[in-house]
Amino acid sequence: MKKKFRALTMNEFIVQQQNAFPYATGDLSRLLTHIVIAARIVNREVSMAGLADILGETGKENIQGEQVKKLDDFANEQFKSVLGSSIEVCGLATEEEKDLVSFESDLSKEGKYIVCMDPLDGSSNIDVNVSIGTVFSIYRRISEIGTSSVLEDFLQPGTDQVAAGYVLYGSSTMLVYTTGLGVTGFTYDPSIGEFFLSHRDIRTPEKGNTYSVNEGNYLEFPSGVKQYIKYCQEIDVATNRPYTSRYIGSLVSDFHRNMLKGGIYLYPQSNTYPEGKLRLTYECNPIAFLAEQSGGMATDGMGRRILEIQPESIHQRVPFVVGSTQMVQLLEKFMHINS
């Protein structure tokens, strides 16, 4: 007989968490539920992409000089529109907009929070039906409530994040987030349009046997990274090597797998990307917050904790190493010896 269980929706869970804080106003809870609404719309479009004439390029380039796909554009517009009418948010920074987007209505200016986000992560996977994601990061504004948001609101170090998370449009759609009280995962039931609690208090293993890196760039990597990759490939039964190589090319999916199973993800500096490829404010910081909250670690491979880096611009890139603590520490050791 099928086991009966009382399914908890994400909204119920958020309210329960909020009730644990007697002084909480509910603003953050409402903001999270607005992100869920936009995610549901994007999810509908992603799952219908092949039918909805929404595959392919828009013909535009974004600030990074990358081709903007129709779904990148669609996701960006959805989140902008939902957050723009959410009175908790006064501004938004996204991968697809060169400058920050300040929401100028009187109600929006009263919003306490700003959001940094990558509306659609893993663009190269869109047209071939491989998992993609949305990554978001929420900060309390620094500027005065009632005014327009300013750049400084978006250039806070990751340690100041109030909440962060991602939506993974995979074989099932999941929303995973943290408010600094551990990491919780919800799985979408498309038949009724709700996210249900499925992963309580996610903990990442101290070490794993998966490494994720675009090895096509191997020759361009720093020697510490090259040697670490060789270490992963060596045969040693005692340490469970060789490790398994898994690289989807969507940070959200690669991170999600490694967080659950144990592993390490690397996007180091290379000749093509001397500062690394991934963006600090809307890719690395939210993922680093989740990594740490699940017991893992995130650095730039050169001894700097990602969350402590002071951002200087919205689209700043940074080398990124994230995953199981012992694996990240060992990579750091290889980098140090070779510097």
Question: What does the binding site for Mn ion look like in residue numbers (CB under 5 A)?
Answer: 95, 118, 120-121
Binding-site residue total for ligand AHG (CB under 6 A)?
A: 12
Helices 27-47, 10-19: axis angle to 10 degrees equals 160
Would you say 111 or 276 has its CB closer to ligand AHG?
276
Amino acid (1-letter code) at residue 195: F
Applying CB under 6 A, among 26, 84, 249, 295 the residue interacting with ligand AHG is: 249
CB contact set of 150 (below 8 Å; sequence gap of 6+): 102, 142, 143
Would you say 92 or 251 has its CB closer to ligand AHG?
251
Least gap, CB of 69 to ligand AHG (angstroms): 8
Beta bridge mates, 164: 137, 178
Would you say 88 or 254 has its CB closer to ligand AHG?
254
Least gap, CB of 21 to ligand AHG (angstroms): 33
If one counts every other C-beta atom within 10 angstroms of the C-beta of residue 311, the result is 20
Question: What's the Cα-to-Cα distance from 85 to each of 89, 90, 116, 139, 207, rounded to whole Å?
Answer: 8, 10, 16, 18, 43
Q: Which stretch binds ligand AHG (CB under 6 A): 8-16, 114-122, 233-241, 285-293?
A: 114-122
- From Mn ion, ligand AHG, none, which one binds at residue 250 (CB under 5 to 8 Å depending on kind)? ligand AHG
Please give the Cα distance from 17 to 31 (Å, whole number). 14
Q: Is 123 in the site for ligand AHG (CB under 6 A)?
A: yes
Q: Which of residues 181-220 bind ligand AHG (CB under 6 A)?
A: 214
Applying CB under 6 A, among 175, 251, 259, 328 the residue interacting with ligand AHG is: 251
Q: Which of residues 40-99 bind ligand AHG (CB under 6 A)?
A: 66, 95
- Provide the 3-class DSSP secondary structure of residue 163: strand
Main-chain dihedrals φ then ψ at residue 63, nearest 5 degrees: -60, -25
Best CA proximity match to 301, nearest among 329, 337, 262, 259: 329
Least gap, CB of 320 to ligand AHG (angstroms): 9
Would you say 152 or 215 has its CB closer to ligand AHG?
215
Residue nearest to Mn ion (CB): 121
DSSP state letters, 256-319: HHHHHH--EEEE---SS-TT-SSBIIIIIHHHHHHHHHTT-EEE-SSS-BGGG----STT-B--
Q: Is 137 in the site for ligand AHG (CB under 6 A)?
A: no
Lookup: tokens for 277: 């490829």
Q: Is 250 in the site for ligand AHG (CB under 6 A)?
A: yes
Least gap, CB of 277 to ligand AHG (angstroms): 6
Least gap, CB of 181 to ligand AHG (angstroms): 26
Please give the Cα distance from 155 to 211 (Å, whole number). 31
Residues found near ligand AHG in the complex (CB under 6 A): 66, 95, 118, 121-124, 214, 249-251, 277
